[in-house]
Amino acid sequence: MATVLTIGGFIGSMMIAFAYLSAQQGWVGQDSGSYLFANLIGAVLILASLYIDWNLPAALVEGFWAAVSSLGIWRLLRGRRTQRSVDGTSERI
């Protein structure tokens, strides 16, 4: 079990690092779904790995990272719902 969680933490770290690299290189936008989901999944994997080797500061950072990513995903999904206005243009609700 410990090995699986450690490998998961490693994968999570690499996901976050690659998402950051991708955003810095302009390969993805910081508000794109792939960037936000990679950060959320990465943070959750790192949090799971902390179960075997607890570290409060790391847990706080990853918890915050997951919360911010979740907020971004929520905004992204909310922004995709559009409503036609009277004049035929789309506006966000």
The domains of the chain are located at 2-81
Please report the beta strands in the chain, taking only residues with DSSP state E, as ranges in sequence order. Answer: 82-84, 90-92
C-alpha angle 91/28/81, rounded to 5°?
Answer: 20
For residue 88, what pLDDT band results from cuts at 50, 70 and 90? low
Binned at pLDDT 50, 70 and 90, residue 85 comes out as very low
Judged by DSSP in three states, 84 sits in strand
Identify the pLDDT of residue 89: 58
DSSP string, 22-35: HHHTTSS-TTSHHH
The residues near 9 (Cβ < 8 Å, ≥ 6 apart) are: 45, 46, 48, 49, 50
Nearest 5°: the CA angle 65, 34, 8 is 55
Note the pLDDT of residue 81: 65
Over residues 20-73, the pLDDT tens digits come to 999 999 999 999 999 999 999 999 999 999 999 899 999 999 999 999 999 999
Query: Does the pTM of the predicted model rise above 0.85?
Result: no
